[in-house]
Amino acid sequence: MEDKLREMLKLYFIMGSNNCRKDPETVLKEAIKGGITLFQFREKGQGSLGGCEKKQLAVNLQRICKEAGIPFIVNDDIELALEVDADGVHIGQSDMSAGEARCLVGSKILGVSVHTLKEAEQAREMGADYFGVGPVFHTTTKEDALPASGVSFIRELRKNGYSIPIVGIGGITAENAGDVMSSGVDGVSVISFISNAESPKKAAMGLKENIMHKQNG
Ligand SMILES: Cc1ncsc1CCOP(=O)(O)O
Ligand SMILES: C=C1C=NC(C(F)(F)F)=NC1=N
Ligand SMILES: [Mg+2]
């Protein structure tokens, strides 16, 4: 399972309706053609959908992923994830504890955002399947993002013996993705470089090229 997950995390596209120029379905289809390996539905922040509209969009995007054999992850909203039988959830520190999440999602994929060794230890003890670490570079996509820390915390986690799958996130583009991969992550996670692109397909292809021959180890 773990190696399968490492492969999945290579090019991890995250998107919500408010990250897109075109309609989300089209953006996702193009990103899939461009070679993304995992998708996270993150409907959050200014202008994002709620309630029934959010659920309908989740179902639509999940169907597109299913048809392409791409696993579908839901951010924050565990209830929605269970309702649509998603492949997994991603939670941050301000959401519920990883222990509580693991109890609710059972054997589904559980991703946790971690920013300190303490958070990493807690998340690992409670059964996280992968860590999201960032922001690596400056980002304006997440309104309450912490300051960018480069790849230092990624290296620190590996130095402290964390071999768990890790994905870097925050301000990642085709031009800097290779450097992130060399830092010891298993993959990169991207929102705006793909979701805002003129051609999400080309953006994903550009990222894919740079991460495939730059992975560490
Ligand atoms: C969700 C999230 N978590 C840390 S940075 C970030 C936003 C990443 O968006 P982008 O790839 O557009 O910088
Ligand atoms: C805040 C987040 C941090 N990391 C990730 C992921 F890339 F999936 F690990 N997703 C998020 N929503
Ligand atoms: Mg969250």
Active site residue 155: no
C-alpha of residue 67 to centroid of ligand 2, in Å = 23
pLDDT-based confidence at residue 215 (cuts at 50, 70, 90): low
- Domain span at residue 25? 2-215
Residue 55 sits in a domain of what CATH number?
Answer: 3.20.20.70
Active site residue 102: no
Residue nearest to atom 9 of ligand 2 (CA): 132
Residues in the annotated binding site? 40-44, 75-76, 95, 113, 139-142, 171, 191-192
Cis peptide leading into residue 135 (ω within 30°): yes
pLDDT digits (tens, 9 = 90+) for 146-177: 999 999 999 999 999 999 999 999 999 999 99
Nearest-CA neighbor of 201 among 9, 4, 11, 5? 11
Active site residue 118: no
pLDDT digits (tens, 9 = 90+) for 86-142: 999 999 987 788 788 999 999 999 999 999 999 999 999 989 999 999 999 999 999
Q: Determine the pLDDT at residue 97.
A: 83
Task: Please name the residues in contact with 3: beta carbons below 8 A apart, sequence gap of 6 or more.
Answer: none
Whose atoms come closest to the Cα of 170: which ligand?
Answer: 1
How many domains are contained in the chain? Answer: 1
Angle between the 200-212 and 24-33 helix axes, to the nearest 10 degrees?
Answer: 40
pTM of the predicted model, to two decimals? 0.97
Q: Determine the pLDDT at residue 99.
A: 83
C-alpha of residue 77 to centroid of ligand 3, in Å = 8
